[in-house]
């Protein structure tokens, strides 16, 4: 099963890993193997621990924890890896609506392809949120998110001259509610839509938000 379009450029392990991972060589291959194994498990709906990935990949636990000190660090690296082709998107059109449509047309099929992985990551995020809510010492790990905001800001940047900062921030906020696994879960699980209907609905809603923002500021 092909799980990556970036086999030569895997996400780097977190900064608190014990040793830096080289770009090439046996240690880089071990890292790739672990990420590949973790992604395959997540694509089957399982959120694996570091120990489970190590066992499945035939890697010692000590070695595994040098790359990924925790389950959260492992899942974060898998998400960064599968997000690679999405976050590499670069805007080409001059019109904001065209840019946004291009971003969604490019990204949504990739999110759909790795839907199980993103759902597993969402599960971890919600668990970590609950842990932080009950962590009086503030030591609970935090799942880092925020890729969508940069891409959405890039997509609507042509509107900076016609929308004020507050209006632009509100627009990006509305679009961020549409762009991600959360919306896909709602549309598929609650509304019963298939992948094509889900993509069409998200793109329609996003374009509608842009048009409404422009109309309100004319």
pTM assigned to the model: 0.76
The domain spans of the chain are 1-70, 89-216
- Report which of 57, 113, 105 is spatially closest to residue 83, judged by C-alpha positions: 113
Q: Round to whole Å and give the CA distance between 65 and 175.
A: 37
- 90 CB burial (10 A radius; 0-12, 13-18, 19+): exposed
- pLDDT tens over the chain, length 218 residues: 333 333 333 333 333 333 334 456 777 888 899 999 999 999 888 888 999 999 999 999 999 999 999 888 898 888 888 888 888 888 889 999 999 999 999 999 999 999 998 898 888 888 877 777 776 666 555 656 667 899 999 999 999 989 999 999 999 999 999 998 999 999 999 999 999 999 999 999 999 999 999 999 87
């Amino acid at each position: 099963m092909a799980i990556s379009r970036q086999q030569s450029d895997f996400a780097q392990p977190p900064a608190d890993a014990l040793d830096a991972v080289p770009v090439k060589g046996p240690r880089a291959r071990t890292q790739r193997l672990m990420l590949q194994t973790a992604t395959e498990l997540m694509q089957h709906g399982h959120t694996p621990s570091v120990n489970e990935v190590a066992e499945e990949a035939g890697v010692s636990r000590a070695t595994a924890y040098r790359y990924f000190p925790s389950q959260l660090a492992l899942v974060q690296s898998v998400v960064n890896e599968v997000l690679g082709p999405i976050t590499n998107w670069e805007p080409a059109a001059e019109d904001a609506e065209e840019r946004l449509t291009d971003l969604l047309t490019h990204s949504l099929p990739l999110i759909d392809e790795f839907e199980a992985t993103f759902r597993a990551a969402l599960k971890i995020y919600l668990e970590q949120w609950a842990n932080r809510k009950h962590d009086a010492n503030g030591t609970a790990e935090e799942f880092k998110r925020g890729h969508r905001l940069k891409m959405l800001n890039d997509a609507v940047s042509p509107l900076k001259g016609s929308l004020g900062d507050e209006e632009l921030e509100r627009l990006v906020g509305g679009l961020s509610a549409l762009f991600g696994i959360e919306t896909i879960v709602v549309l598929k699980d609650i509304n019963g839509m298939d992948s094509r209907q889900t993509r069409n609905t998200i793109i329609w809603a996003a374009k509608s938000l842009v048009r409404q923002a422009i109309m309100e500021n004319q």
